[in-house]
A and B are shown apart, each in its own frame.
Chain A
Amino acid sequence: MSARTVTIAAVAAIAAVAALIEAAHAELGLVVERATGSLQLVDNAKRVSLARIDGLGDLSHASLVYSGDGRFAYVFGRDGGLTKIELASAKVVARVVQAGNSIGGAISRDGRLVAVANYEPGGVKLFDAQTLELLSEIPATYGNDGKRAKVVGIADAPGNRFVFSLFEASEIWIADVADPRRPRVRKLANIGREPYDALITPDGRHYIAGLFGEDGLALVDLADVEAGARRILADYGRGQEKLPVYKMPHLRGWAVAGPYAFLPAIGRHEVLVVERAGWREVVRIPAHGQPVFVMARPDGGQVWVNFALPRNDTVQVIDVERLAIVQTLRPGKAVLHMEFSGAGDEVWISARDDDRVVIYDTASFARIAEIPAQSPSGIFFTWRAKRIGM
């Protein structure tokens, strides 16, 4: 065999192994058990729990992202813990406690970097995804007296960038991390009062931050950052008194379906529907309570919504074609999160106070199965590995 043939064979073998690894991880997932600091490794095709992984600290507001091949998960704990899990062995392979209080994180498009958004000390830290070595820190310093803001809504964006929002500072920052030891930060000021969370559209083009301190949302076109942030839906609540908010909505996850984006109205029992072409309001859909997660089924045919206390035992389904609620379900007490299977034919819903995850068929709305879990919150399947902003 010539050297070239050997090289081609080796490349083919590596590709085959990579494909096998991806296939083996394609239908796995992790369920956060918030009260016990543990995760359940699950198989979402077989609807079974495979293992429990302990020792992750305070997971009371935990989220996670996957490496591009789905082999590893990076778990962001409330207590500043960043934990790398290998799914095949269901083991912790690396862990650092990198801050006093953190809210979430993201992985770069190329999988080399993990970024963590911190409340205390306010800022973003960048880590080598392989070793969890700290590469650099971006303190969220604002104003003239050195104060640091809490960072929310971090997302990975095309072009080696992370985008995030500063709660107290009313700013959105775009960090270019081509050189991760020396990130370059572009700051957009006066984007609207108190951004509380954000999302990036599935095409990576737009970053949208929800505002707590005023009505409306801030929109950044990532293809034209110099244009700054513009306000959308700025008057959706004009003249009405807001209801008390017992749980902040979460924007992360796909709220984009067909030509629309579906967004939670803060302090109102409504889902806002926006046209993506011009970012104008299309309609407001009255809902059972204040939305927390508004999530589109992967095919964009339905949007599922859960609600804040005291209406958190209910989930509603919006038909995207009709822009109307077509189903109301009661999965259990304290519904915290929903996760679709990759094909969207099933959805897993965590009912924290019933200690179970309930699985529904999204076409018939039949309850298919239940998996016991201790105070389950976030559910994350490995199909997210391939998606932007997930």
Chain B
Amino acid sequence: MAGMNVRVGAALLVAGASLAPAALAGDAPEAARRAQLVSLVRQDCGSCHGMMLKGGLGPALTRAALRDKPPRSLVATVLYGRPGTPMPPWREFVTSAEAEWIVRQLQEGTLHER
């Protein structure tokens, strides 16, 4: 885990200002940051998963599609990607706490409306 934390730290240092995670792991994102995260999910995750999150080159991220997936493994997928697939790591753009928040919203189905 120590090696992983060093990598995350390095990633945070190189992240661009506007995209830098606002909160450190453990803090819940604040309203302004939440709006950014919603936009990130719809627009940028949406490049592959569809803006409506119904899938594209990547699988659907709808509530139904994620119902039986363990949240921890989804959070890990967001942060570290899926080697061997086109899914990239997003830890340069979101903290662990933010990834957890995104996964919770996806599993509750709150990000699907426009």
Contact = CB atoms under 8 A, between A and B. Distances in A.
Interface of A: 34-35, 58, 60-61, 78-79, 100-101, 103, 119-120, 150, 152, 167, 194, 196, 212, 244-248, 309-310, 334, 352-353, 375
Interface in B19-59: 19, 39, 43-44, 46-48, 50-52, 54-57
A196 B48 CA distance: 11
Contacts of B93: 309-310
B89 A248 contact: no
Interface string B1-35: 00000000000000110010000000000000000
Q: How large, as a class, is the contact surface on chain B?
A: 20 to 34
12 contacts: A35-B114, A58-B50, A60-B52, A78-B50, A78-B51, A194-B86, A196-B86, A247-B47, A310-B92, A310-B93, A353-B39, A375-B43
Contact of B57 (A35, A58, A167, A353): A167
Contacts of B114: 35
B95 to A, nearest CB: 16
Given A60-B46, A248-B47, A212 B86 contact: yes
B81 interface: yes
A248 B44 contact: no
A79 B48 CA distance: 13
Contacts of B88: 244-246
Specify the main secondary structure of chain A where it touches its partner: loop
Nearest to A375: B43
B52 A78 contact: yes
Contacts of A34: 51
B44 A309 contact: yes
B50 A61 contact: yes
Nearest to A267: B88
A286 B99 CA distance: 32
A246 B57 contact: no
Among all A-B residue pairs, the 5 with the closest Cβ atoms: A60-B51, A244-B88, A247-B47, A310-B16, A310-B19
A246, A247, A375 pick with most chain B CB within 10 angstroms: A246
Given A244-B81, A247-B47, A310-B16, A120 B52 contact: no
Contacts of A245: 86, 88
B64 to A, nearest CB: 13
A348 B89 CA distance: 32
A246 B56 contact: no
A152 B57 CA distance: 9
A352 B43 contact: yes
A60, A100, A245 pick with most chain B CB within 10 angstroms: A60
B13 to A, nearest CB: 14
A101 B46 CA distance: 13
A2 to B, nearest CB: 61
Contacts of B43: 334, 352-353, 375
A103 B56 contact: yes
B50 A60 contact: yes
B52 A79 contact: yes
A246 B87 CA distance: 8
